């Protein structure tokens, strides 16, 4: 299975110092994705069990009542990862590499600008709050 990369990125609009990479993925690939992210120094990740439909799970016919019956939804995991702008493409590439099977239902990634980060324990904001001890920027500046 050859590697498919995200197409080259335009400048993100709106511009922001931080972005949230929000990936909706197959539950059974999440462990693989999160350990690969951890290996590259991504230490802050939030996951939720969600259900959704896209091309994989969506109904092609509408029922009389126009409500979607619940069993059309497919179990997915949502991973949310807030990173500095310069780390966004690396995180996306890694998720693509680890989550992709090539079959319908591999998921989607949404990129959301984040206005600020506040660490509750210390009151730090911005870059100080977003940085993690031993995180990607520590690892890369240690070379």
Among 81, 92, 95, 96, binds ligand ATP (CB under 6 A): 81
Burial class (CB in 10 A: 0-12, 13-18, 19+), 48: exposed
Instruction: Find the binding residues for ligand ATP in span 28-57 (CB under 6 A).
Output: 44-46
Q: Which residue, 24 or 82, has its beta carbon nearer to ligand ATP?
A: 82
Kindly identify the residues of this chain, within the stretch 108-137, that bind ligand ATP according to CB under 6 A.
119, 121, 132
Note the residues at the interface with ligand GLN (CB under 6 A).
Answer: 41-44, 81-84, 87, 130-132, 135-138
Task: Work out whether 82 is an interface residue with ligand ATP (CB under 6 A).
Answer: yes
Q: In what order do the strands lie in the sheet with 18-25?
A: 46-52, 74-84, 18-25, 108-114
Pick from 22, 53, 80, 105 the residue near ligand ATP by CB under 6 A. Answer: 80
> Taking each helix axis from N to C terminus, what angle separates 30-39 and 88-99, rounded to the nearest 10 degrees?
140
In DSSP terms, 75 is beta-bridged to 51
Distance CA 142, CA 44 (A): 20
Residue 25 interacting entry, from ligand ATP, ligand GLN, none, C-beta within 5 to 8 Å by type: none
Measured from the CB atom, the residue of 26 and 131 that comes closer to ligand GLN is 131
Q: Which is nearest to 91 in space by CA: 54, 99, 1?
A: 99
Report the nearest approach of ligand ATP to the CB of residue 90 (Å).
14
CA atoms within 13 A on the CB side of 139: 12
Which of ligand ATP, ligand GLN, none does residue 52 bind (CB under 5 to 8 Å by kind)? Answer: none
d(CA 17, CA 115): 8
Q: Give the residues lining the site for ligand ATP (CB under 6 A).
A: 44-46, 80-82, 119, 121, 132
């Amino acid at each position: 299975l050859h590697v498919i990369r995200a197409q080259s990125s335009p400048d993100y609009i709106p511009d922001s110092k931080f972005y949230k990479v929000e990936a909706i993925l197959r539950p059974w690939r999440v462990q693989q994705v999160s350990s690969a992210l951890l290996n590259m120094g991504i230490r802050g990740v939030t996951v939720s069990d969600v259900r959704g439909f896209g091309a994989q799970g969506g109904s092609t016919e509408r029922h009389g009542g126009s409500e979607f019956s619940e069993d059309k939804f497919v179990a997915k995991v949502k991973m949310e990862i807030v990173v500095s702008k310069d780390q966004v493409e690396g995180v996306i590439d890694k998720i693509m590499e680890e989550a992709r099977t090539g079959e319908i239902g591999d998921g989607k990634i949404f990129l959301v600008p984040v206005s600020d980060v506040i660490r509750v324990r210390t009151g730090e904001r911005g870059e100080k709050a977003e940085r993690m001890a031993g995180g990607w920027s520590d690892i890369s500046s240690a070379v």
